[in-house]
Copies of this chain bind each other. A is one copy, B any other.
Amino acid sequence: MPHWKFKLHEVIYEADTPAGKIFDIALLIVIFISVILVMMESVTSLLNKYAWEFYIAEWVITAIFSVEYVLRIIAINKPKRYIFSFYGIVDLLSTLPSYIGFIFGGANLLFAIRALRLLRVFRVLKVTRYIGESRKLISALRNSKAKILVFLFAVFIICIIAGTLMHLVEGKGGGFDNIPLSIYWCIVTLTTVGFGDIAPVTPLGRLIASIIMITGYGIIAVPTGIVSAEYSKATDKPIRNTQVCPNCNEGKHLDNAKFCHKCGFLLND
């Protein structure tokens, strides 16, 4: 592995050198600009007025993302590790649509595909790595994930039963026209969102709705109890070593690691 490749890897994949940090921040700014551009393009009045500027901006951003994608592949020993990782696929999906659109045309579908670029916004979450506080949060969430899913699953079954009941009580013709719609209303109600586009009108329907709401109010406590308990158990030792193995792209090394714990490759400090 030549020295320039080592250097390039350090700049692109890591964040413990000044150059690496600057690269990270510059990339985040470009991502934010691209996200705001996609948002603005969806506003018809803006799109009609600044069509040309949007066209230019789109190609500039596509060019930057393409160069970044190629550099990321070059800078790593086993490129497949990156290409088939979550961020590798997201990075590809955020450059490809522009080229496809150039070749095939078709404005409407194009926009849908181009919106994929928004997925890049997930990369921003990587910054939370440097915020020690978020470590404990993520750990607590990971521990309570299974329990909260079981709970949400039970909530969903309650919604199926209550939705069917509301459909039978309120009858056809109103907002509870069929069971899927009634279940949708139940979810809206039980989660205390309450849009109000659908609302019961019969006295019995309102009585059942009251019971559903009070139930929702009573059981909202459950996920909170889980997270609270897990959070107070979780450790909040942040990972300070931001080095990433130049060979296999593994990122979670111990603070004093000199070799990659996965492939044995020498980590550069």
Contact check, A156 vs B214: say whether CB atoms are below 8 A apart. Answer: yes
The A contact surface, by secondary structure, is helix
Contact check, B119 vs A133: say whether CB atoms are below 8 A apart. Answer: no
* CB neighbours of A192 from chain B (8 A): 191-194, 217
* CB neighbours of A177 from chain B (8 A): 44
* CB neighbours of A221 from chain B (8 A): 144, 148, 223-228
* CB neighbours of A118 from chain B (8 A): 160-161, 164
- Contacts A160-B121, A225-B231, A226-B231 known; A42 to B178 CB distance under 8 Å? yes
Contact check, A214 vs B152: say whether CB atoms are below 8 A apart. Answer: yes
- Place the interface of chain A in its size category: 35 or more
Chain B: CB-nearest residue to A224 = B221
Contact check, B133 vs A146: say whether CB atoms are below 8 A apart. Answer: yes
| Contact segment of A81-89, A181-189, A255-263 | A181-189
Contact of A203 among B137, B180, B227 (CB under 8 A): B180
Please tell me if A4 contacts chain B, counting CB pairs below 8 Å.
no
* Contact indicator per residue, chain A 199-222, by CB within 8 Å of chain B (1) or not (0): 100010011011001101111111
Please tell me if A7 contacts chain B, counting CB pairs below 8 Å.
no
Please tell me if A1 contacts chain B, counting CB pairs below 8 Å.
no
Contact check, A155 vs B194: say whether CB atoms are below 8 A apart. Answer: no
Report the separation of the CA atoms of residues A196 and B195 in the bound assembly, to the nearest whole angstrom. Answer: 4
* Contact indicator per residue, chain A 161-179, by CB within 8 Å of chain B (1) or not (0): 1001001100010000111
Chain B: CB-nearest residue to A219 = B223
Most chain-B CB neighbours within 10 Å: which of A183, A189, A228? A228
Chain B: CB-nearest residue to A181 = B206
Q: How far is the CB of A198 from chain B (nearest CB, A)?
A: 9
Please list the 10 inter-chain residue pairs (A to B) with the smallest Cβ-Cβ separation, ordered nearest first: A225-B227, A193-B194, A195-B196, A196-B196, A221-B223, A221-B224, A42-B179, A191-B217, A225-B228, A197-B199
- Contacts A152-B217, A194-B196 aside, 5 further interface pairs with beta carbons under 8 A come to A38-B164, A122-B157, A134-B147, A134-B150, A152-B218
